[in-house]
Structure 1
Amino acid sequence: MTSYALRFTYLVIQMLQRSHLPPDTSNVVRPDIHASISRGTTCLPRNESACKRDKVLIWFGTLANPGYSAYSGGLDTSTILKWLILEGYTVVAFLGNCGQAEDFAAVEKKALALGAERIVIEDLQQEFVDELIFRAIQCNAIYEDRYLLGTSLARPVLARALVRVAHKYNCKILSHGCTGKGSLSIIAPWRMPSFFNRFHRGRQDLLKFASENNIPVSSTPKAPWSQDDNLAHCSSESGILEKPDMPAPKDVWIKSVDPLDAPDVPTKFSVTFREGIPVKLEVEGGETVTGSLELFKALNEIAGRNGVGRVDIVESRFIGLKSRGCYDSPALTVLRLAHIDIEGMTVDSKVKSIMSWIGNEWSQCLYNGMYFSPERELLENSIIFSQKHVHGTVNMMVYKGAAHVLSRSAPESNLYSEQQASMDTLEGFSPEDTSGFIAIQAIRLEKYGAAKIQHGEPLARGL
């Protein structure tokens, strides 16, 4: 969610470069915009009238007629939508259904009431799970050891749909509600003096404008944090959450119950993997789920009601600033733990070590908005190769905010041998085999110790 404008912009740029644009928008990457991305500087339109005359696609910016606003019904996008209409633009709104807790009928009614020409709502849940969430599970994706990338995972699906719908309705210019602070927002309303000067105090000015124009928003002066909800997680930031020394209000957690209020009896279940992808969920004394979307939703409910998946962190933004985020990711938390565990049974140790680095690089690509890039494809091909034999079942338990692995089985893997691992037998293993191994390992360590002694450095305390 942090630096959203820059990273989402990169994704839209990548999608546009892969798609067939209408003839009058073929020169979509304007030289001044493209150069600004390379330099890491902010690009603003030469002037608004010139921007309106240019037949180009402008990401997250002013809307020429017809325009196209990625619309979530939140404070920023609602205010921008109304502001653009008051400025004389025609707006087509878009909302992608990525599994967020949303009253889509109410959002449609709201967008049209604010003056949008139309609103397009697309159900993206299945492709979100199959193409992004489960790929993240395969590579144990994580950012800075804590963040499971819930918002980052949704961006490629939304960017793809954004461009697809823009083509369908012949929209020449894109807009987005991302703020300009801390991000490179290319020709965004927040970077335009006419918009920024009116709302320079940020969310308080937005709330005032919303009130004056009868715009219903979920954010209020008493609870001015921003939330992004989808199947993978719900993230909360901004407002009172910008004080990292203050505990997050209970209201920010919408996908999980307070662990203290979770059931006093644990929930047990098993997850079965094929090629590193979850294919079956069996709940003890309950249902069996096999469809990918249904499986993920079921795990969200099970883990969420047991208080699993909460993370409150301060992370590094793409541009180097620090930002606090509260992330609620029940199913992702459970599946990542289960996948790491089954890999222990099915993946070679050296491959697992290399895949740890690859998974981290893949996570960086997603976080930085570089999904539609050659490096991501390279990394992903390695991930898919590494998962060819990751078949097995993990038995788990969730209880009072924690997820536990109870046992696992991988009948098709020969990497783990109970006989070889046993302390009760030496069958298939000769103690003499260790002698040469130890001697070889000792060569470099002996030289290291001799060098320390030569320089008068003790090898250990007291020597």
Structure 2
Amino acid sequence: MKKKIVLAYSGGLDTSVLLSWIKETYDAEVIAFCANIGQDDELKGLNAKAKKTGALKIYVDDLQEEFAKDFIFPMMQAGAIYEGQYFLGTSIARPLIAKRMVEIAKAEGATAIGHGATGKGNDQVRFELTTAALAPDLEIIAPWRDERFRTQFPGRAEMIAYCEEKKIPIQASAKKPFSMDRNLLHISYEAGILEDPWFNAGDVKYRDYFTTLSVFPEDAPDKAEYVVLDFDKGNCVAVNSKPMNPLQVMKALNKLGGKHGVGRVDMVENRFVGMKSRGVYETPGGAILHFAHRQIESLTMDREVMHLRDSLIPEYAKLVYNGFWYAPERLALQALVTESQKNVSGTVRVKLYKGGIHAAGRQSQFSLYNPHIATMEADPTKAYNQDDATGFIHLNGLRLRVNSQVNGPANIGG
């Protein structure tokens, strides 16, 4: 009986070659899998292409609702953002894809899963750590880490020639000047012309390259647009007073944010494997959701709970980025996040204008903001006695005074 392998498949040149090569090299039956997580047109014709390339079977599963509800929204509740800029669009998709591959492998009696991630990237780690957590007995096949594969295919020309020889249907066009990865949360661009960090991907002359989900701010409307988001326990449940599920929220916000050019990021990030890489991202809906969520939190979350959660944001984001979505520490952090969100309900109004997201109001029945206490005028509630601040400051300054007396005044430079 032949070995069965489940392969992450997109239908592009790389995975087409991988499918044929794995089938031939391992004398195996290959089951192709493609997750629909918001790629749109990229999924057309995959069934026929996979079969013609040699797949025993192909799964093209629509996972968009699960992606939005069980992956994007919990991450947004945590306020996660990697290295202060990256909304983790590719990172958060990988554990879902790997999870479904594991499920298919079990259903089909496969003993291995394969992927086309390179040996230099983060995705190999994300796929394989997820598999380790969910199905540790499954074998991993990663051709880009196999010297036989790299020797046979040192470049794109050899891949194209191989497909011609095997009559594998591909679009053998010139190499794109960069690589792209798209889903419901974002689209990323990297490699190629972007490997020069001085290259300005925001120059309007490149608008045809980097405007898949959003326009450049220069091309956005000259009139601002207001958007109202309703939250329940940290999750957005309505946009402009229209109730929506998580998938509908993401689609609506992507359209609104894309129109105004918000959520565009160009950064140099630190990969888990040790190198720095440059990426350009469009995350229009995610940027709005992240911003608005913070606004409702500012009104409803206890100060110390917020500061505790905030102190854990870098760790949470790192776990997502590095592929530890199913690790016990991420699950533990998520439990804390869920508890912190129990009163994060209310309404936020934001203004979108030429690449910017601006706060334009927030309200909640769980608001901890008391205008009578915060007012600069007389406080009718008598809840705050300004005289109490004297002792408060005196006690907080005690250690500073003692340190100064023992070690001398703090060095202020000069």
Q: Shorter-normalised TM-score: what interval?
A: 0.7 to 0.9
1:134 is matched with which residue: 52, 64, 73? Answer: 73
Aligned to 2:210: 252
Aligned to 2:178: 225
> 1 CA distance for matches of 2:228 and 2:36?
28
Partner amino acid, structure 1, of 2:374: A
> What pairs with 1:85-104 in structure 2 (closer than 5 Å)?
85-87=23-25, 88-104=27-43
Identity of counterpart residues, as a percentage? 39
Change over 3 Å in CA distance of 1:218–1:330 after alignment to 2: farther
How much does 1:358 deviate?
2.4
Change over 3 Å in CA distance of 1:418–1:411 after alignment to 2: same
Give yes or no for contact 2:347–2:363 (8 Å, CA) kept in 1: yes
Change over 3 Å in CA distance of 1:211–1:252 after alignment to 2: farther
Residue range with higher mean Cα deviation, 389-398 or 213-222 = 213-222
Change over 3 Å in CA distance of 1:461–1:240 after alignment to 2: closer
How much does 1:258 deviate?
1.6
Give yes or no for contact 2:190–2:279 (8 Å, CA) kept in 1: yes
2:295 is matched with which residue: 328, 341, 360? Answer: 341
Aligned to 1:278: 236
> 1 CA distance for matches of 2:171 and 2:404?
65
Aligned to 1:151: 90
Residue range with higher mean Cα deviation, 336-345 or 112-121 = 112-121
TM-score (structure 1 length as normaliser): 0.79
- Is the aligned partner of 1:322 residue 2:276? yes
Give yes or no for contact 2:81–2:88 (8 Å, CA) kept in 1: yes
> 1 CA distance for matches of 2:172 and 2:182?
14
Aligned to 1:431: 386
Residue range with higher mean Cα deviation, 333-342 or 79-88 = 79-88
Aligned to 2:307: 353
Residue range with higher mean Cα deviation, 187-196 or 131-140 = 187-196
> 1 CA distance for matches of 2:391 and 2:256?
51
Change over 3 Å in CA distance of 1:265–1:205 after alignment to 2: farther
> 2 CA distance for matches of 1:207 and 1:312?
31
Aligned to 1:306: 260
Change over 3 Å in CA distance of 1:155–1:182 after alignment to 2: closer
How much does 1:158 deviate?
1.1
Give yes or no for contact 2:228–2:350 (8 Å, CA) kept in 1: yes
- Is the aligned partner of 1:296 residue 2:250? yes
Aligned to 2:153: 199
> 2 CA distance for matches of 1:225 and 1:215?
23
Per-residue CA shift, 1:413-451, capped at 9, x if unaligned? 3x2101111112243222211111121122112123334
Change over 3 Å in CA distance of 1:193–1:392 after alignment to 2: same
Aligned to 1:267: 225
2:189 is matched with which residue: 222, 233, 236? Answer: 236
Partner amino acid, structure 2, of 1:365: L
- Is the aligned partner of 1:420 residue 2:373? yes
Per-residue CA shift, 1:274-331, capped at 9, x if unaligned? 1101011107xxxx24222112111111101111111111100112210111111111
> 2 CA distance for matches of 1:219 and 1:393?
50
Partner amino acid, structure 2, of 1:434: A
Partner amino acid, structure 1, of 2:292: A
Give yes or no for contact 1:70–1:95 (8 Å, CA) kept in 2: yes
SS at structure 2 position matched to 1:160: helix
Change over 3 Å in CA distance of 1:213–1:425 after alignment to 2: farther
SS at structure 2 position matched to 1:90: strand
Where in structure 1 are there 5+ consecutive unaligned residues? 1-52, 54-63
1:446 is matched with which residue: 394, 401, 406? Answer: 401
How much does 1:459 deviate?
4.7
Partner amino acid, structure 1, of 2:287: T
1:117 is matched with which residue: 47, 56, 81? Answer: 56
Change over 3 Å in CA distance of 1:419–1:157 after alignment to 2: same
Partner amino acid, structure 2, of 1:253: T
Per-residue CA shift, 1:54-97, capped at 9, x if unaligned? xxxxxxxxxx6322211112332122113234444322100111
Give yes or no for contact 1:207–1:220 (8 Å, CA) kept in 2: no
How much does 1:412 deviate?
2.6
> 2 CA distance for matches of 1:450 and 1:153?
52
Where in structure 2 are there 5+ consecutive unaligned residues? 126-139
How much does 1:261 deviate?
1.1
How much does 1:208 deviate?
5.0
SS at structure 2 position matched to 1:102: helix
Give yes or no for contact 1:76–1:178 (8 Å, CA) kept in 2: no
Q: Which runs of 4+ in 1 moved over 6 A?
A: none
Q: What is the number of residues matched between the two proteins?
A: 391
Per-residue CA shift, 1:213-253, capped at 9, x if unaligned? 55555785342422111101111112222121112343133
Partner amino acid, structure 2, of 1:276: G
> 2 CA distance for matches of 1:328 and 1:195?
33
Change over 3 Å in CA distance of 1:347–1:311 after alignment to 2: same
Change over 3 Å in CA distance of 1:219–1:351 after alignment to 2: farther
Aligned to 1:65: 3
How much does 1:460 deviate?
4.0
How much does 1:209 deviate?
4.0
1:373 is matched with which residue: 327, 334, 344? Answer: 327
Change over 3 Å in CA distance of 1:205–1:418 after alignment to 2: farther
1:76 is matched with which residue: 14, 20, 41? Answer: 14
Give yes or no for contact 1:281–1:295 (8 Å, CA) kept in 2: yes
Give yes or no for contact 2:115–2:141 (8 Å, CA) kept in 1: no
TM-score (structure 2 length as normaliser): 0.88
2:105 is matched with which residue: 166, 169, 186? Answer: 166
Partner amino acid, structure 2, of 1:440: L
Partner amino acid, structure 2, of 1:297: K
SS at structure 2 position matched to 1:271: strand
How much does 1:181 deviate?
3.0
Aligned to 1:409: 363
SS at structure 2 position matched to 1:197: helix
> What pairs with 1:179-218 in structure 2 (closer than 5 Å)?
179-181=118-120, 187-201=141-155, 203=156, 205-207=158-160, 209-210=162-163, 213=166, 215=168
SS at structure 1 position matched to 2:401: helix
